[in-house]
Chains A and B, each alone.
Chain A
Amino acid sequence: MHSDYVIEIKQLQKIFVLKEHGKRRQVEAVRGVDLVVRRGQIFGFLGPNGAGKSTTQKMLSTLMRPSGGEVKVLGYDLVKQPDKIRQQVGFVSQAGGANLAFSGTENLVLQAQLFGIDATAAKRSATEFSQRFQMTSYIDRPASTYSGGQKRRLDIALGMIHHPQLLLLDEPTTGLDPQSRAYLWVEIQKLKDEGVTILLTTQYMDEADKLCDTIAIIDHGKIIAQGTPDELKSSVGGDTIVFSFTSSEIASQAEGLLNEHVKLERLNVTDSSVYLTLKDGERALPDLLRLLDGSEMPVQSVTLARPTLDDVFLKYTGRSLREDDGEKQ
């Protein structure tokens, strides 16, 4: 094993057998994922619900057994040495996992003890994390009284209590208010500065863009693109222009017209909008507007944007990330 690699995954697979109306159906949630995560990185899985992000993370946390492939976490074999991995890996699921009847301190002390830390040291750790995540004012109240942001801090402290080398965060900021999100981003960045390797999943482009050193875009159980945020954005190439029309018929007519007249890198239509990617969008825009106006295709609105990770997702999947929130495993 390469000592620099915290996670090495080869051809990872997960197949679920679902029973629906008495019939068995196989669902391939993860199909042949290969990746490596280097020490000290923040590595992001970006993808819609049901893409296989959480499933991959659950396998890495030892909660789920892979159906196929080879996985090494911190040099240990995922299937043969799960206890070695558990000792060194922290996992914060979307559900969180704090026992709401207990106070933050009670939760933290128990969690530390489950890792074999003795009672005195566990209490010391609980105090340390309560100070670190600024939870001292409410840490001894029952967790049922916490706000969403307060509970999330406790969840992350629970995942960190045994000082793991690798931290798995499953959608750490989903459902949080903007202030709590910003606060968690700072904390996650601090963990990285302390040398903790972090693998997080997210549905938020801005989160992946801001936090991650490397991003893997995952869709239908496969990694479809991987790189630094900048690499991914420049792979999209030019700028994106979005024309909105009053109806989808006009939009598809406009698509045809634009296709004939301009040398485009990429063109997509969703509903009544046409997305096109081209170099030097600022200069091309006035000409395109004149062309559309002259052909009786009134443009309702237009936006010009530098490439974002949204565009990256659109480029590799042919659809926008926000469009298919429906399909959840």
Chain B
Amino acid sequence: MKLLHDIQLMFTANMRHILKSPVFIFINMFQPLMYLILYMPLLGGLGSVPGFTDGNTANVFIPGLLVMQAIFGCAFVGFPLIDEIRSGVIQRYLVTPVSRSAIILGKVLRDVVVLLAQCILITLVAIPFGLSLNAAGFVLSLGLYVLIGAIMSCISYSFALIYKVEDSLAPTMNTITLPVSLLSGIFLPLALAPLWLQYLAKINPFSYGVNATRDLFVGNFQSISIPQGFLIISIIAVIVFYWCLHALKKMAT
């Protein structure tokens, strides 16, 4: 009960903070919208290529684009946390009996709520571009985006708590996001990749998430990739949450 109460308190405070400058929620969507408008049309002629079932490129591209939003949209949330560490805000939370998990979950929850809004907006914009999605599958895939976003948030917060300076956080997160997104077949299906690249992708947990959302988008609910994606992504999410919690508890000492 106390945990829920504390999460609600921290979530409300974090939400109020971001709503003081809501324009950033939209600026954050600029990159995926650019890919949607200026890059996806290039894929039009690839309908017959392996990996593009039904010849519909939008149904393959949009799920990947939303995963990209989840990865890049949440990868840099550690920056404002560093500011909060420096100005003593986090210390001020830590001297109260508030649950330590709630300090992190309040932030992660805020990040994924923002992400949900962004994913829904991008999807709505994508419909005129030929996206024909399965409604139930889409709703389920939102769960995967939320989990992927939460993973990136926790990683970003952990490094923020460990480094406490911006200079080290930016290169670290860039180093993680680029290979992780390229190796999950965000832009083009990995079916196109040479074998060695496909094997490399298999050790990237996010590639299972992308595969699962592609099946969900077209309503291919029998696919084994769906439970596989949820399971792998959930396990990673739990691991990075505890890592982040550990970093918070260790911060002062």
Contacts and interface: CB of A to CB of B under 8 A. Distances in A.
Given A63-B91, A106-B16, A86 B96 contact: yes
B92 A158 contact: yes
A99 B17 contact: yes
Given A58-B252, A65-B253, A97 B88 contact: yes
A114 B93 contact: yes
B92 A111 contact: yes
A288 interface: no
B61 to A, nearest CB: 37
A100 B93 CA distance: 15
A11 interface: no
A89 B94 CA distance: 12
A116 interface: yes
Contact of A86 (B9, B86, B95): B95
Nearest to B12: A110
A129 interface: no
Residue from A65, A83, A114 having most chain B Cβ neighbours under 10 A: A114
Interface residues of B, number: 22
B97 interface: yes
A113 B9 contact: yes
A140 to B, nearest CB: 14
A144 to B, nearest CB: 10
B95 A99 contact: no
A115 B97 contact: yes
B17 A102 contact: yes
> For chain B, what secondary structure do more than half of its interface residues adopt (helix, strand, loop), or is it mixed?
helix
A275 to B, nearest CB: 38
Contact of A93 (B9, B20, B91, B96): B91
Contacts of B6: 114
A101 B91 contact: no
A89 B2 CA distance: 20
Residue from A83, A101, A158 having most chain B Cβ neighbours under 10 A: A101
B92 A97 contact: yes
Given A63-B91, A110-B13, A113-B9, A99 B98 contact: no
Contacts of B98: 114
Nearest to A113: B9
A111 B253 contact: no
Interface string B147-186: 0000000000000000000000000000000000000000
Interface string B73-95: 00000000000101111011111
Contacts of A63: 91, 94-95, 252
Contacts of A61: 95
Interface string B122-161: 0000000000000000000000000000000000000000
Given A99-B17, A101-B17, A110-B13, A62 B89 contact: no
Interface string A51-75: 0000000100111110000000000
Interface of B: 2, 6, 9, 13, 16-17, 20, 84, 86-89, 91-98, 252-253
| 8 nearest A-B residue pairs (beta carbon) | A95-B88, A97-B92, A97-B88, A114-B96, A63-B252, A91-B95, A83-B97, A114-B98
5 contacts: A83-B97, A91-B92, A94-B88, A98-B87, A114-B97
Given A61-B95, A95-B86, 19 more contacts: A62-B94, A62-B95, A63-B91, A83-B97, A86-B96, A87-B97, A89-B95, A93-B88, A93-B91, A97-B87, A99-B13, A99-B17, A99-B84, A101-B17, A101-B20, A111-B96, A114-B96, A114-B98, A116-B2
